[in-house]
Amino acid sequence: MDKQFNEFEIKGKKIFIDEKEVKAVKNFEMKKGKGNLIEVTLTFDAVPRYE
């Protein structure tokens, strides 16, 4: 699923998106956007925070 996330939460050294912990980054892509902005694309697996 491709979905844009502008909001995320960092707790300690873990990143949570939509209350799901980011487990492993599969792919990382960075490209220059407009002006000084950089667009970063991460592909990862997410699992429920409370299993």
pLDDT at 36: 83
Rounded CA separation 17/5 (Å): 7
Give kind and range of the element (H or E) at residue 45. Answer: strand 38-48
Rounded CA separation 19/7 (Å): 11
Q: What is the pLDDT of residues 23-49, one digit of tens each?
A: 766 776 778 878 888 777 777 766 665
Rounded CA separation 32/13 (Å): 26
Which has more confidence, 14 or 51? Answer: 14
Domain ranges of the chain: 9-48
